[in-house]
Amino acid sequence: MKTTLLGLFLILLSASLSVASAPQSDAIGRVQTLKGTVSIQRGNNALAVSIGTPVLCSDTIRTGKAAAAGLVMADDSTLSLGPNSELVLKDYVFNPKEGKFSFVTKMAKGTFSYLSGIIGKLAPDSIRMEMPVATIAVRGTKLLVTVEE
């Protein structure tokens, strides 16, 4: 009986732990501001975006002709996209406890504004922005970027 109870307790404990850690491994940021038609390409699906929509690693965010969007990442950095823009969230790790950080984006086309957050303070070397023919390394600051196709 005692063993059964202990077993049940362990199952419940592990269930509650896995639920507790789920949000950390999923959303890496959210859409905070939005204008016009914006979509997220996730795998083979194109998802509609509204304010509060979570973004995940590997998502591609696209804005339409008169559209724009602002993202807030888990480390409080922000990334905004102007009209006709395309951004790929290639890699994002925000794990201060284990000292693991990574923030790699690809700015494929359009206009962008980036403001660094906690990763910029703790591990600036782990931030990289890729563009079609150049890359940007950034140390705790704000940048404005245009990428023409």
Asked if residue 20 binds other proteins (CB under 8 A), the reply is: yes
Per CB under 8 A, contacts with other proteins among 93-122 are 94-97, 99, 111-113, 115-116, 118, 120, 122
Residue from 40, 49, 61, 69 binding other proteins (CB under 8 A):
69
What are the distances in angstroms from CA 96 to CA 93, 102, 124? 9, 11, 13
d(C-alpha 53, C-alpha 33), whole Å: 10
Question: Please, which residue, 29 or 40, has the CB nearer to other proteins?
Answer: 29
Asked if residue 88 binds other proteins (CB under 8 A), the reply is: no
d(C-alpha 40, C-alpha 7), whole Å: 43
Cα(first)–Cα(last) distance of the chain, in Å?
Answer: 68
User: What is the token pair recorded at 21?
Assistant: 């850690």
- For residue 16, give the 3-state DSSP assignment: helix
Is beta strand 29-35 parallel, antiparallel or unpaired with respect to 127-130? unpaired
Residue from 42, 83, 90, 104 binding other proteins (CB under 8 A):
83
* CB 142, min distance to other proteins, A: 5
Contacts to other proteins by CB under 8 A:
20, 23-24, 27, 29-35, 51-52, 68-72, 74, 76, 78, 80-83, 85, 94-97, 99, 111-113, 115-116, 118, 120, 122, 131-149
